[in-house]
Amino acid sequence: MGQSELEARLDAMRKTIKTADRQTDIGEPKEGDEIVGVIVAKRTVEFDDRDSAIYDFDIGDRTQGVWDSTDISRQFSSLKVRFGDIVGLRYLGVAGKNMMKLFVVSVDHVDPEAELVCPPPEPKKKGNGNVAVDDNVPF
């Protein structure tokens, strides 16, 4: 890149940055907010007194982070979302006495061999090392 081309690009960036809106990589959703992208990572951050997960989506022009929630991780596990899948999320709002955040999740599976984003939990073990079984389940 020549000096004049560099100067022109620097000037263009100076003009852009004066009018650009802030684009955060993680936001608190508002009812109806949607995101569609390729899920590329799941990372853990320390937040207050606990660790929290963030899902990173490649949405084309940037990577957008989405805070994990009980509903998202449950649906990601149920739908077998894998890294590299195209995922759509729509925030519905909160419900219940616990104010649980609710989402609509849709997935287009890209690579059925890729690693699961939310693998199923390991079976719980009893103190003797055997898998715990509830014999009172009526089915």
pLDDT tens, residue by residue, 79-116: 999 999 999 999 999 888 888 899 999 999 999 999 99
72 in a structural domain: yes
Q: Is residue 138 part of a domain?
A: no
> What is the pLDDT, as a whole number, of residue 12?
84
pLDDT at 76: 96
Residue 32 has pLDDT above 70, yes or no: yes
Residue 100 resides in a domain: yes
Is position 64 within any domain? yes
In this prediction, residues 15-24 reach a mean pLDDT of 65
The total of structural domains in the chain comes to: 1
- Answer yes or no: is 60 within a domain: yes
**Residue 89 CA: distances (Å) to CA of 26, 84, 118, 138:** 14, 15, 16, 35
Summarised one tens digit per residue, pLDDT across range 50-86 is 888 999 999 988 888 898 998 999 999 999 999 999 9
In a domain, 137, yes or no: no
The predicted pLDDT at position 139 comes to: 47
Q: Report the CATH number that the domain containing residue 73 is assigned in CATH.
A: 2.40.50
Q: What is the pLDDT of residues 35-49, one digit of tens each?
A: 999 999 999 888 778
Has residue 117 been placed in a domain? no
Prediction pTM value = 0.70
pLDDT of 106 reads: 95
Q: Which domain holds residue 88?
A: 22-108
State percent of the chain over pLDDT 70. Answer: 81
Residue 130 lies in a domain: no
